[in-house]
């Protein structure tokens, strides 16, 4: 028997996670989350896992002693949480530590989209300010806008707090209204889109959120409408969005996430009325380090104290004695 608890890390993960885990555990690495890469004799001794991305049912089944899967990120759709829950395996994620970073980036992306700040900088850098004169006036502004937030969880609330400082009106749509939210609630996404001119999406990837921002929602948002997506690309019908942007159904969009990352449709790249980021909403050293620490701390807490710090709702388990 190994002296230290063995933790499996399938595929790439932030180096800080590995550094922290090696302080307490024996780390076993495989190239990708494929059970064929781990002999059954070795798999039998794996008690925990740290993952950034996929961890499917086949790998879970291959690990008979597995107790906990610590996932790097707020979203944990890559982990087969149903298979884990059926075995009594805890799954954790990294909420809260990235709320502020994502909310800050959301506001930056919104301003970039409305005021065309990246295009203005490119105008300066290319010498056009000197050659051609002032950058054209932007047709859109944040002044007087009404903002709808699709998904009022921890990050959605942080975004709303920042928006309050800009003097805009705020409304939201979730599956059910929040008693603690002082904002107007709309029972459907299309109703929310029809009531606002700016829609910010910050919902997770679930079966219920697949392509919910479709042609009907974009039409309801209207010709002055702007879509900002910092949740999951899964939520947006990208073909409908391209058509809406081309045809003036909405005025613009700012996207940090895409349906098939890192593949961004050429049709989006070619549009002048979009601001595009390569999924960087939480991508600062400080925030990613905090996320890495929480992955490690969940494993340390589980094996040291019998309970994870941030279990996902589907797996509210504690460790069995012995």
162 carries an active-site annotation:
no
Catalytic residue check, 261: yes
Quick one: residue 66, left, alpha or beta (phi over 0 = left, psi -120 to 50 = alpha)?
A: beta
Instruction: Return the C-alpha torsion angle 288, 294, 295, 298, nearest 10.
Output: 180
Q: What angle do CA 190, 193, 194 make, to 5 degrees?
A: 85
Annotated catalytic residue, options 178, 279, 314, 319: 279
- How far is the C-alpha of 17 from the C-alpha of 226, rounded, in Å? 37
Name the catalytic one among 145, 173, 232, 288. Answer: 232
| DSSP-assigned states of every residue in 217-236 | HHHHH-TT-EEEE-S-GGGB
Report the alpha-carbon distance of residue 21 to residue 292 in Å, rounded.
Answer: 10
Using the structure block, give the residue that is written with the tokens 């790439």.
Answer: 12
CA angle 242, 191, 223 (to 5 degrees): 40
Each residue of 202-236: b (16+ CB within 10 Å) or e? bbbbeeebeebbbeebbbbbeeebbbbbbbbbbbb
Give 108-156 as a DSSP string.
Answer: HHHHHHHH-HHHHHHHHHTTHHHHH-SPPPPS--STT-EEEEE--SHHH
List active site positions.
232, 261, 279
């Amino acid at each position: 028997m190994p002296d230290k608890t063995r933790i499996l890390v399938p595929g790439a993960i932030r180096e800080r996670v590995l550094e922290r885990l090696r302080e307490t555990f024996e780390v076993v690495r495989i190239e990708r989350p494929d059970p064929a890469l781990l002999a059954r004799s070795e798999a039998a001794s794996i008690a925990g896992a740290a993952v950034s991305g996929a961890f499917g049912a086949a790998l879970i089944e291959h690990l008979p002693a597995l107790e906990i899967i610590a996932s790097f990120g707020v979203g944990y759709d890559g982990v087969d949480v149903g298979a884990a829950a059926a075995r009594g395996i805890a799954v954790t994620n990294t909420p809260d530590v990235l709320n502020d970073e994502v909310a800050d980036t959301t506001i930056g992306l919104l301003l970039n989209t409305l005021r065309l700040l990246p295009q203005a900088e490119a105008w300066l850098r290319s010498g056009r300010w000197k050659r051609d004169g002032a950058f054209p006036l932007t047709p859109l502004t944040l002044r007087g806008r009404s903002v709808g937030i699709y998904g009022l969880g921890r990050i959605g609330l942080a975004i709303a707090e920042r928006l309050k400082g800009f003097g805009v009106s705020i409304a939201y749509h979730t599956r059910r209204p929040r008693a603690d939210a002082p904002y107007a609630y709309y029972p459907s996404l299309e109703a929310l889109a029809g009531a606002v001119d700016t829609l910010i999406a910050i919902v997770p990837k679930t079966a219920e959120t697949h392509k919910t921002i479709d042609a009907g929602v974009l039409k309801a948002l209207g010709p002055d409408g702007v879509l900002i997506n910092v949740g999951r690309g899964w939520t947006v019908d990208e073909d409908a969005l391209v058509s809406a942007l081309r045809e003036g159904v909405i005025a613009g969009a700012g996207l940090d996430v895409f349906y098939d990352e890192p593949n961004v449709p050429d049709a989006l790249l070619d549009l002048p009325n979009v601001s595009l980021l390569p999924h960087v909403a939480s991508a600062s050293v400080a925030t990613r380090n905090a996320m890495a620490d929480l992955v490690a701390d969940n494993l340390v807490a589980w094996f040291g104290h019998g309970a994870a710090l941030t279990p996902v709702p589907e797996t509210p388990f504690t460790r069995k004695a012995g």
